[in-house]
């Protein structure tokens, strides 16, 4: 049942995206297939699927790879629902919604793994939830950074066709900063809680964990980017590059953790 709901959520994400692209290309109304409410339906389906996963197992879905990917897709989709309230943000949806769909498809391809009961504590659950919230913030930053670089390139090349449909570079830069701050604050809290959990464990297992080192590398990258912006005044293109490269590195970490190690912290 969970897989059926996930497939349905993928359809309700991709069909409207495709309909909007065709409508834009043909300069015609998108019809019911392109309606904005489909995104609420997709979020509801993802959430329902996660609830069913939780009811069928002894741990929260986000503690597994399948549930974690779907949780991240949920945060990305919710982030888009918040972001789309800003003017001229449709292009960001063309990045974020397919990203959510890719995460959902990946969760279907990933076989379920057993999760040790020792990682099912409320502290570990909060730690993982904060980390996923941080990743969701960085996903929004990635979309905004990409749009900023596209906008900047088109202006430099004097390609002004349909450029009024994109937000201004100032708006993109400001929203990029805010979403990076959101992601960094959540990730920092999640990492801090992870360090606390590590100090409570006598095994020292986390010191050799790729998830730990990968998360720390992402944290230091965004910390450097925000420091460069706040202290050194680096804005615009530099901040956008930090957003794109940072999320690309984050995706590489998730791929390694999922494909090679089969779960968060090897669980």
pLDDT digits (tens, 9 = 90+) for 40-59: 999 999 999 998 888 887 77
Residues 66-95 have pLDDT tens digits of 888 899 999 999 999 999 988 888 889 989
Burial code (b: 16+ CB inside 10 Å, e: under 16) for 219-238 equals bebbeebbeebeeeebbbee
Q: Which residues contact 77 (CB under 8 A, 6 or more apart)?
A: 13, 39, 42, 43, 46, 96, 97, 100
Residue 4, SS3? helix
Q: Which residue has the higher pLDDT, 85 or 165?
A: 85
Identify the weakest region by mean pLDDT among 11-20, 21-30, 143-152, 238-247.
21-30
> For residue 125, what pLDDT is reported?
80
d(CA 139, CA 73): 10
d(CA 224, CA 245): 12
> For residue 212, what pLDDT is reported?
75
> For residue 146, what pLDDT is reported?
94
Q: Give the Cβ contact number of residue 87 at 10 Å.
A: 9
* pLDDT confidence band for 117 (50 / 70 / 90): very low
pLDDT at 159 over 80: no
- Give the residue ranges of DSSP H helices in the chain: 2-26, 38-55, 65-83, 90-109, 122-156, 169-200, 210-230, 237-256
> For residue 244, what pLDDT is reported?
92
pLDDT at 154 over 90: no
CB 179 within 8 A of CB 119: no
Residues 220-250 have pLDDT tens digits of 999 998 988 888 888 888 889 989 988 888 8
d(CA 175, CA 172): 5
pLDDT at 191 over 80: yes
Mean pLDDT of the chain, nearest integer: 83
Q: Which residue has the higher pLDDT, 251 or 73?
A: 73
> For residue 253, what pLDDT is reported?
73
> For residue 46, what pLDDT is reported?
95
Q: Which residues contact 211 (CB under 8 A, 6 or more apart)?
A: 253, 257, 261, 264, 265, 266
Burial code (b: 16+ CB inside 10 Å, e: under 16) for 149-175 equals bbbbeeeeeeeeeeeeebbebebbbeb
d(CA 63, CA 129): 9
| Mean pLDDT, residues 150-172 | 83
* pLDDT confidence band for 118 (50 / 70 / 90): very low
């Amino acid at each position: 049942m969970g897989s059926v709901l996930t497939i349905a959520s993928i359809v309700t994400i991709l069909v409207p995206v495709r309909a909007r692209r065709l409508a834009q290309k043909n300069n015609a109304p998108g019809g019911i297939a392109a309606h904005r409410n489909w995104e609420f339906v997709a979020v509801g389906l993802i959430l329902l699927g996660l609830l069913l996963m939780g009811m069928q197992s002894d741990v929260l879905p986000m503690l597994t790879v399948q549930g974690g990917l779907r949780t991240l897709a949920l945060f990305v989709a919710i982030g888009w629902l918040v972001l789309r309230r800003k003017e001229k943000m449709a292009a960001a949806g063309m990045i974020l919604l397919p990203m959510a769909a890719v995460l959902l498809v990946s969760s279907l391809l990933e076989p379920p793994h057993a999760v040790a009961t020792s990682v099912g504590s409320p502290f570990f659950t909060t730690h993982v939830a904060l980390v996923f919230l941080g990743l969701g913030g960085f996903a929004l930053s990635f979309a905004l950074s990409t749009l900023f670089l596209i906008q900047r390139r088109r202006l430099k090349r004097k390609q002004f066709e349909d450029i009024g449909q994109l937000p201004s570079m100032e708006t993109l830069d400001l929203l990029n900063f805010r979403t990076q701050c959101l992601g960094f604050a959540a990730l920092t809290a999640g990492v801090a809680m992870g360090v606390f959990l590590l100090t409570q464990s006598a095994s020292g297992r986390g010191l050799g964990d790729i998830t730990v080192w990968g998360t720390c590398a992402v944290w230091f990258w965004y910390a450097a980017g925000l420091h460069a912006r706040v202290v050194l005044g680096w804005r615009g293109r530099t901040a956008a590059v930090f957003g794109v490269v940072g999320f690309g590195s984050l995706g590489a970490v998730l791929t390694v953790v999922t494909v090679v190690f089969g779960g968060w912290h090897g669980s």
